[in-house]
Amino acid sequence: MATWNSRGLRGSALEDFINETCERYREKSLALIQKVPTPITPVRIDKESRHITLAYFEKKSTVDYIGVVQGIPVCFDAKECNTDNFPLQNIHAHQVEFMGDFERQQGIAFLILFFTHRDELYYMPYREMHRFWMRGQEGGRKHFKYEELNPDCFLKRNKNFLVPFLEGVAWDLESREA
């Protein structure tokens, strides 16, 4: 069974930025996206701070966020990377399966990647993620390189939205119609 310890805070800044963006999208009636809580069973709690210091995951989580954008169901996961090579081991088989099932139900699934060393955000549609995933499963590289990514899918931050993923959703929808 998987455990959670201090490593669980990795990516929390990115999630904070996404949470802020989701709240702004909700306020502007553009989207309703919620963070999916990961069910855990606490094992050790610091008595002074009352913080959980060790816990077991009750079950595998699916994705970090789920919701609806102007009537279109969306789900996505947020990942950080501090190099130009993103290890596919950071994407779990149950997540790929869930996102594939979501897409087959006419939803839009994607990843938000934050290349911390470049301070760049990337919107990765499920079909692109799945292509890299399958390459790794079939004996190819177990990572993808920054240079392989679609230049059109890098997100441009602005003063209103820290992680403007609706730009990626709009691009994704347009590319499906083409």
Query: Is 64 marked within a binding site?
Result: yes
**154-155: strand order across its sheet:** 31-35, 65-69, 72-81, 108-115, 120-125, 154-155
Domain count, the chain: 1
Query: Is 70 marked within a binding site?
Result: no
CA-atom Rg of the chain in angstroms: 17
Query: Is 89 marked within a binding site?
Result: no
How far is the C-alpha of 108 from the C-alpha of 126, rounded, in Å?
8
Hey, what are 117's tokens?
């060393």
Of residues 123, 96, 93, 120, the one with CA closest to residue 110: 123
CATH number at residue 51: 3.40.1350.10
Query: Is 77 marked within a binding site?
Result: yes
Q: What is the pLDDT along the chain (178 residues), one digit of tens a residue?
A: 343 343 433 447 899 999 999 999 999 999 999 998 776 677 778 888 877 777 665 556 689 999 999 999 999 999 999 999 999 999 999 999 999 999 999 999 999 999 999 999 999 999 999 999 999 999 999 999 999 999 999 999 888 899 999 999 999 999 988 6
Question: What pTM, to 2 d.p., does this model score?
Answer: 0.83
Domain coverage including residue 168: 3-177
